Structure 1
Amino acid sequence: MGRVMFVILLWLSAGTLLSVVRGEDPYLFFTFNVTYGTISPLGIPQQGILINGQFPGPNINCTSNNNLMINVFNNLDEPFLLTWHGIQQRKNCWQDGVAGTSCPIPPGTNFTYHVQVKDQIGSYFYYPSTAMHKAAGGFGGLRVNSRLLIPVPYPDPEDDYTVLIGDWYTKSHTTLRKLLDSGRSIGRAEAVLINGKTAKGDGKDEPLFTMKPGKTYKYRICNVGLKASLNFRIQSHSMKLVEMEGSHVVQNNYDSLDVHVGGCFTVLVTADKVPKDYYMVASTRFIKSVLTSKGIIRYENAKAPASPDLPKAPLGWAWSVNQFHSFRWNLSASAARPNPQGSYKYGNINITRTIKLVNSAIRTKGKLRYALNGVSHVDPETPLKLAQYFEIPDKVFKYDTIPDIAPSDVADSLSVQPNVLNITHRDFVEIIFENHEKTMQSYHLDGYSFFALAIEPGRWTPERRKDYNLLDAVSRHTIQVFPKCWAAIMLTFDNAGMWNLRSEHAENRYLGQQLYISVLSPERSLRDELNMPDIQLLCGLVKNLPKPAPYT
């Protein structure tokens, strides 16, 4: 034990010294020990995925520009990856932790991620991107605080709390995967959890959080579930929204917030009510059989129980669309990003390319598949980025397997293959998500934040651009698309690499509703993209190939 501590101290000291010598941003070191363990979130023992013995996993607390060295030991019986949801990984898709960029960590081995939270602030989370592991846990909060020199547009809160909400299945992740592999859906969840628990309301529940009367607290609320959009609210308390997915927003008060899968909100809550217990409540939206979970917030030294009368969630998706319209980017707030004062006038930039993605659900050979523009993505044995880096892409995938604008008969055709779009470095692109289905959709793009311009009912046409918010749309990384609706985003593809655009609904993603966007630098230059790390895991066709010449 003494020798291990000595080695760790040497490692830390070397990292600290290196930071000083090179003038680098600070390094933080984490060890994640991934194991199976017995959990009982609903009072029934089941197998869960623990990180350092915890469910949910430990919070990562860091500051803008910090370098995170996360050493992940995979003690499961199958390959494993973690993805850092919303962390942009500037010029470094090697650390993204998805099948298109990384070989999974084999059982009984470890891999060290080097993640830099460059020019970012806000509330994020991490989760397993392999198989259906997320259904068993393995997720945790990731908060990025502003540097002390950067003013935040609200007073420092008394404390900072992470709230991970999500739907939950009692079936194991292996059972859910077998259902999908057999061509069936995983169906609806059995429960909703708040930080891995749900209060019974029998007077024996321990509080999730405590508050001092008169003080204001920061709550970071993220939907880490598999399928269900959730409405979140706190008994008798309003929530002041201050940040969402890395952007400070115009500060409005809300009685409840719809949090879609993959989305995160940061709110301020003031303990200005009668000192007692209060319930925070999360319930499913847009499905007939509503599932509800609750957790206790306790005023310090209070003994009165929470009222059993829970605040009700709103009805219908039109209310949720209107709430989306109320979100505005705070153009006067400082931030971690360049041009924080709203000087980035995205509405005045000429669109280089328009891509319209239509999702579809089709049965092929009796098995359910999900697709974008008629292509259902499948991960090849050789990660896409590795095939590209080793200059053998033609042996693994084809570029531009889908048209930019979905054909009218997209719901009637399907091909199963790697789905890769090639986008020119630094092009300014408009992406439309059009949902012809009766189910809710939620999309996430790795490596970027984008401007969420509009969500409207019906079909998109170029004339609908008049509905865009071209002034203060929130810069974020997930976007929901309601049934029979469309959503529009814009962004500059200035982050070279191979980036995953996926449905955040685990079933849809697993069965093909995702694609990869290749953003190649014109030159193999370190100015635009980092070299493949020396410790990168290799697999598939590149496992025994000589490494290409590095970028210079």
Structure 2
Amino acid sequence: MGMANRENFPLVPFFYFFCMLGFVFIPTEASVKKYQFNVQVTNVSRLCHTKPIVTVNGMFPGPTIYVREGDRVLINVTNSAQYNMSIHWHGLKQYRNGWADGPAYITQCPIKTGNSYVYDFNVTVQRGTLWWHAHIFWLRATVYGAIVIMPKQGTPFPFPQPEREETILLGEWWNNDVEELVNQGNKLGLPPNMSDAHTINGKPGPLFPCSDKHTFAMEVEQGKTYLLRIINAALNDELFFAIAGHNLTVVEVDAVYTKPFTTQAILIAPGQTTNVLVQASQVPSRYFMAARPFMDAPLSIDNKTATAMLQYKGIPNTVLPILPQLPALNDTNFALSYNAKLRSLNSPQFPANVPLKVDRHLFYTIGLGINPCPTCLNGTQLIASLNNITFVMPQMGLLQAHYFNIKGVFRTDFPDRPPTPFNYTGAPLTANLGTTLGTRLSKIAFNSTVELVLQDTNLLSVESHPFHLHGYNFFVVGTGVGNFNPSKDPAKFNLVDPPERNTVGVPTGGWTAMRFRADNPGVWFMHCHLELHTSWGLKTAFVVENGKGVDQSVLPPPKDLPLC
């Protein structure tokens, strides 16, 4: 399962890959796939504004990576923008190869302006829809794209073969430079301005002014079935997605096949992917696809609806489209019932290997807080914490510090549970409960089984939090509203066919329990995928120790690894 040595594979010139209308590149056999990513500033017009944004190969969204299970992938990223850059291949496990994972100052130093770095990794025992995005500052607002992993040759989908497939990237758009807004917010100690629009494949749709030409359209033929690969690339919003008049059959989440079920709408958190089948079974016409936020906490968000078009062949553009009925903005019941329907396929070919015995029990509380800030507008700034610890980003890559045993960069004493138990979801609390700052990680023994319960708290406010774990998938064995009860709730865990994911939503004022086997050595980031909360310190990392086998240790770093 280890990555081939770079020196055995001399790099040949890379090619630029462009996604052109009507063209889909599908690899025919396991091989080496090479891509060139040029990070640059491009002028893009949206919502009556034309502004420079950071893009990859001048595209917004960026190019789709098409590979097949078993392929080796080499992506040469050249940074021609004014910002430091790193790219994360979200959901790829990167076995023993954290050097290719991408989060800045966790597994690598960022790629400086004018420099390049080759991400070199194998796609092993994974197939489905994942994605890539910038993993530094808020640059993933515009630097993102899809990863499509086709099954091995001769391995069909475990659902009806679609006529065609389409990638649907849900995102956000700011009329102003998002990095300038973030810096301004930090100086004030406040959140930056919310986005000006949501987008579908980079376009807001005709419900926004000046955006008639900025609408994504997908043509279908009556009676045929289509596969949509849906990705939530938004920075800060969980989203509902639906198509007017058409049901969606969910068949995969986070590149893991699921037991199919049919729904009128899906809920998808930032970082998550969902594959659905859509049958073009309605009267030929034009139907809106639509995406709108879900927020069941009293917080301000951009609640505007982005739209795209599902258009039957032969129907003229003059026909008025039909808008779908999306769940209400705060429809908690829909959110909970939708997530409860997700189940792993758990077939002989695609089993759900849920750890039944747990070696390490972890309980992490999620909290928001306020710290003193003499230079800020109100003398305070908002922060976030896990187990009362606000994570401080290091000045060098944590994986480098771990691999070379460099002292003083991080500590491995992150607590397994919060120092002060309290009524986590009771009356709102404004105290920080002794929040401390630090770069503190949790050390995990190789091949041990871990159960992690993430508990939302009512420090300042309850809120849902999508958590992403790098380097692993995990099984979501339980979830609930209120405080986790360790004596009663585990009896209700699903240990047979729970959904297997890389990103999970912790419900507002509730908890989520996950299990995984720590069989991938290295340093692996875990963080809230709401960029606002990540920037406030809602993150940590696991140091998974090497095993004793010859193929159970972190691989040596590549020679072109960026320097800090």
Task: Report if aligned partners of 2:182, 2:191 keep a CA contact under 8 Å in 1.
Answer: no
Q: Is the contact between residue 205 and residue 296 of structure 1 (CA under 8 Å) also seen in structure 2?
A: no
2:471 is aligned to 447
Of 200-209 and 141-150, deviating more is 200-209
Select which of 186, 190, 195 maps to 1:189: 195
Which of 528, 532, 536 pairs up with 2:561? 536
Q: Conserved in 2, the CA contact under 8 Å of 1:210 and 1:300?
A: yes
Aligned pair partner of 1:381 in 395, 402, 405? 395
Residues 466-525 of structure 1: per-residue CA shift (max 9 Å, x gap)? 221111001111110121111110111111110000110001111210001000114594
1:162 to partner: Cα distance: 0.7
Structure 1 position 153, deviation (Å): 1.1
Distance 1:516 1:180, change over 3 A: farther
Task: Give the TM-score normalised by the residue count of structure 2.
Answer: 0.86
Question: Which residue pairs with 1:127 in the alignment?
Answer: 133
Contact preservation (8 Å) 1:374, 1:402: no
Secondary structure at the counterpart of residue 386 of structure 1: helix
1:11 deviates by 4.9
Aligned residue in 2 for 1:20: none
Give the SS at the match of 1:40.
Answer: strand
Structure 2 equivalent of residue 547 of structure 1: none
Query: Distance in 1 between the 2:347 and 2:548 partners?
Result: 37
Matches for 1:257-272 after TM superposition, within 5 Å: 257-272=266-281
2:18 paired residue number: none
| Structure 2 residue ranges without an equivalent (≥5) | 1-9, 16-28, 373-379, 423-430
Of 126-135 and 298-307, deviating more is 298-307
Distance 2:490 2:49 in 1: 51
Equivalence for 1:519: 544
Relative to structure 1, the CA distance from residue 114 to residue 9 in structure 2 (aligned partners, 3 Å threshold; closer, same or farther) is closer
**Matches of residues 87-236 of structure 1 in structure 2 within 5 Å?**
87-98=92-103, 99-135=105-141, 137-182=142-187, 183-200=189-206, 207-236=216-245
User: Structure 1 194/207 Cα, relative in aligned 2: closer, same or farther at 3 Å?
Assistant: closer
Aligned partners of 1:535, 1:275: CA distance in 2, in Å?
Answer: 54
Residue type matched to 1:295 in 2?
Answer: A
Contact 2:170 2:201 in 1 (8 A): yes
Supply the distance in 2 between the matched residues of 1:517 and 1:244 (Cα, whole angstroms).
24
2:286 corresponds, among 257, 277, 284, to: 277
- Report if the CA contact (8 A) 1:166-1:230 is conserved: no
Task: Rate the CA distance shift 1:306–1:493 in 2: closer, same or farther, 3 A.
Answer: farther
Structure number with higher helix proportion: 1
Name 1:395's counterpart in structure 2.
408
Question: Which residue identity does 2:468 align to in structure 1?
Answer: H
State the Cα distance separating 1:180 from its structure 2 match: 4.3
Which piece of structure 1 moves more, 407-416 or 228-237?
A: 407-416
TM score, norm. by length of structure 1: 0.88
CA shift at 1:186, angstroms? 2.0
Identity of aligned residues (%): 25
Match of 1:457 in 2: 481
Give unpaired runs (5+ residues) of structure 1.
1-7, 14-23, 335-339, 540-552
* Counterpart Cα distance in 2 of 1:375 and 1:169: 31
| Separation in 2, partners of 1:195, 1:434 | 33
Residue deviations 1:380-433, cap 9 Å, x none? Answer: 1111111111111x3211112334345226942222221311111111111011
| Bigger shift: residues 84-93 or 203-212 | 203-212
C-alpha change, 1:274 and 1:93, in structure 2 (3 Å) is same
Could you say what secondary structure the match of 1:175 adopts?
helix
CA contact (8 A) 1:240 1:254 kept: yes
Distance 1:189 1:10 in 2: 41
1:297 aligns with 2:322: no
Which of residues 327, 351, 363 is equivalent to 1:356? 363
Residues 532, 523 of structure 1: alpha-carbon distance in 2 compared, 3 angstrom cutoff: farther
Equivalent position amino acid for 1:281 in 2 = A
Q: 1:74 aligns with which of 73, 79, 91?
A: 79
| Residue in 2 that maps onto 1:50 | 55
* Aligned residue number for residue 535 of structure 2: 510
Residue 467 to residue 43, structure 1, CA distance change in 2 (3 Å): farther
CA shift at 1:206, angstroms?
A: 5.5
3-state SS of the aligned residue for 1:251? Answer: strand
Residues 67, 149 of structure 2: 8 Å contact kept? yes
Aligned to 2:25: none
Say if 1:62 and 1:144, in contact at 8 Å, map to a contact too. yes
Aligned partner of 2:517 in structure 1 is: 492
Deviations 1:223-253 (A, max 9, x none): 1011111100001111111111121111111
Alignment check: 8 A CA contact 1:419 1:514 kept = no
Instruction: Report the AA paired with residue 331 of structure 1.
Output: N
Contact 1:203–1:305 under 8 Å retained in 2: no
CA contact (8 A) 1:232 1:258 kept: yes
Assess, with a 3 A threshold, how the Cα gap between structure 1 residues 170 and 419 changes in structure 2: closer, same or farther: farther
Match of 1:478 in 2: 503
Over 3 Å counting, the alpha-carbon distance change for 1:12 and 1:440 in structure 2 is: closer
Runs of 4+ in 1 over 6 A off after TM superposition: none
Letter in 2 for 1:369: I
**Structure 1: distance between partners of 2:125 and 2:90:** 15
Q: Cα offset for 1:165? A: 0.6
Report the CA distance shift for 1:173/1:115 in structure 2 as closer, same or farther (over 3 A).
Answer: farther
CA distance in 2, matches of 1:345, 1:415: 35
Out of 341, 346, 356, the position equivalent to 1:326 is 341
Number of residue pairs aligned between Structure 1 and Structure 2: 512
CA distance in 2, matches of 1:67, 1:132: 29
Structure 1 residue 469 and structure 2 residue 484: aligned? no
Q: Distance in 2 between matches of 1:244 and 1:79?
A: 31
Work out the CA distance in 1 between the residues paired with 2:68 and 2:57. Answer: 22
Whether contact under 8 Å (2:224, 2:279) holds in the other structure is yes
**Contact 1:375–1:402 (CA under 8 A) maintained in structure 2:** no
Distance in 2, matches of 1:236 and 1:304, equals 18
Work out the CA distance in 1 between the residues paired with 2:191 and 2:266: 28
Q: Give deviations 1:105-144, integer Å, cap 9, x for gaps.
A: 0101111101222110111111111111122x01001111
Counterpart check, 1:412 vs 2:426: no
Q: CA deviation at 1:149?
A: 2.8
CA contact (8 A) 1:455 1:485 kept: yes
Distance, in Å, in 1 between the alignment partners of 2:393 and 2:11 is 40
SS of 1:319 mapped into structure 2: helix
Cα displacement (A) at 1:46: 2.3
* 2:263 corresponds to: 254
Correspondence for 2:383: 369
Query: Which of residues 238, 246, 269 in structure 1 aligns to 2:247?
Result: 238
Q: Match of 1:226, SS?
A: coil
